[in-house]
Amino acid sequence: MGRQFTKRVLVAGGCGFIGSHLCERLIESGADVLCVDNFFTGSRGNVEQLFSNPRFELLRHDVTIPLYVEVDKIFNLACPASPVHYQFDPVKTTRTSVQGAINMLGLAKRLKVSVLQASTSEVYGDPSVHPQTEDYWGNVNPIGPRSCYDEGKRCAEALFFDYRRQHQVAIKVARIFNTYGPRTHPSDGRVVSSFIVQALLNADITVFGDGSQTRSFCYVSDTVDALLRLMDSPFEVTGPLNVGNPNEISMRDLAELIIDLTGSRSRIVYRPLPQDDPCRRRPDISRARDQLGWSPKVGLKEGLSKTISHFSELLGRSDFQTEL
Ligand code: NAD
Ligand code: UDP
Ligand code: UDP
């Protein structure tokens, strides 16, 4: 009976950082959630607070394998996102992006439902246009250590638009810029969580290169808000839409800000810059503003403070050191 009134939403990659926050928001909004994940970088722990809710269902499944379920909307977030994780098994990363997209699109085509792809600012590579607009085609090294992720995501975008042109699938493509917040994996090497954990432990803060490279960090609740709005937008709104916070900062300044906010005794140390590390990144979000009425609400200091509280709590847990 409930099926007539309640939307059942598939979140592929729902046990990951962004996916777990998305599952929570969907459950809060009254939807049924089918969370699908192979637990590569995500964990059951990220969604355990939802286990007692009868509207939440968790399925261990790899999106490179076909999936036959009945749902009303599909969010495809399944893909490792941090360089350390996506370079661990690069061939698998490409398969996840490409075959995973094909399966999610095939599912959407059969069910005639909307499907949203979590794409990335990495499709712009090391950008020669700044800030990045959606019209910019990017500057990606096709054969470097980041290519499995960047080219996999670019191919997935191509597939989404081909399924739209060929099969009229209702597609939504969000190009997500660096997102941070509670539940990033503490040892996946992403800069915000790495710096926070280092600062809280009064350990050296490892800035790569000279720290002049920039990123623009968006707090996870803002990113999730954009994904929800994009999913519920009219058929004509396909994206790609940049989703991020245009507030740009260098990695050196980020390290200093985190030292300041944590009152840490850490010192900054410099390590070699990884190959193909983009020099700068900032989204132009005019399109998301116009088409979704969305803009980020949480400033960097506020978001970092919330994230610092989360990691301080984790550090207080006896089992945390073994996770690092
Ligand atoms: P994450 O690594 O925390 O989450 C990814 C989830 O996908 C994990 O739970 C993982 O176990 C699951 N997964 C991986 N391969 C899978 C497979 N083959 N089958 C089923 N599940 C699989 O990453 P995140 O930061 O939450 O990112 C979520 C999505 O958003 C990713 O697609 C990522 O590319 C995209 N994105 C994230 C950011 C960011 O800054 N966090 C930026 C741009 C794009
Ligand atoms: N697919 C799926 N679930 C579905 C429908 C399709 O996983 O409910 C997979 C299917 O196995 C196929 C892919 O999605 O490999 C693409 O489906 P499509 O219908 O576009 O292609 P076809 O089946 O015609 O190759
Ligand atoms: N970075 C750093 N120290 C670290 C981890 C990352 O200086 O311990 C830098 C990294 O070189 C990059 C930026 O921080 O310039 C963002 O890195 P992250 O891996 O978080 O995301 P991405 O490179 O995918 O944007």
**Backbone phi, then psi, for 275, in 5-degree steps?**
-60, 140
Q: Which of 43-52, 127-136, 178-187 has the lowest mean pLDDT?
A: 178-187
- pLDDT of 5: 63
pLDDT at position 3 over 90:
no
CA atoms of 264 and 77, how far apart (whole Å): 34
Task: Give the pLDDT confidence of 194-246 residue by residue, as tens digits.
Answer: 999 999 999 999 999 999 999 999 999 999 999 999 999 999 999 999 999 99
Name beta bridge partners: 120: 176
Choose which residue among 121, 196, 208 to substitute to test ligand 3 binding: the one with the highest number of ligand atoms within 8 A of its C-beta.
Answer: 208
Q: How far apart are CA 241 and CA 157, in angstroms?
A: 12
Ligand 3 pocket test target in 141, 191, 271, 277 with most atoms within 8 Å of CB: 191
Residues present in the chain in total: 324
The mean pLDDT of the chain is: 95
Instruction: Write the ipTM.
Output: 0.98
Secondary structure (H, E, C), 8-44: EEEEECCCCHHHHHHHHHHHHCCCEEEEEECCCCCCH
Does position 2 have pLDDT exceeding 70, yes or no?
no
The response to whether residue 206 sits with its C-beta less than 6 Å from ligand 3 reads yes
Name residues whose C-beta falls within 8 Å of residue 196's C-beta, 6 or more positions apart in sequence: 258, 262, 304, 307, 308, 311
Q: Which of 149, 163, 180, 219 is catalytic?
A: 149
For 79-109, how does the pLDDT look when each residue is reduced to its tens digit (9 = 90+)? Answer: 999 999 999 999 999 999 999 999 999 999 9
- Ligand approaching nearest to the C-alpha of 64: 1
E strands along the chain, which residues?
A: 8-12, 32-37, 56-60, 73-76, 114-120, 171-176, 179-180, 205-208, 214-216, 218-219, 241-243, 248-250, 268-271
| Closest protein CA for atom 13 of ligand 3 | 191
Q: Which atom of ligand 3 is nearest to the CA of 83?
A: 19
Between the two ends of the chain, the Cα-to-Cα distance in Å is: 46
Task: Check if 124 is active-site.
Answer: no
Residues 47, 25: contact at Cβ < 8 Å? Answer: no
pLDDT in tens, 256-276: 999 999 999 999 999 999 999
In sequence order, the β-bridge partners of residue 76 are 12, 117
**Alpha carbon 85 to chain centroid, angstroms:** 13
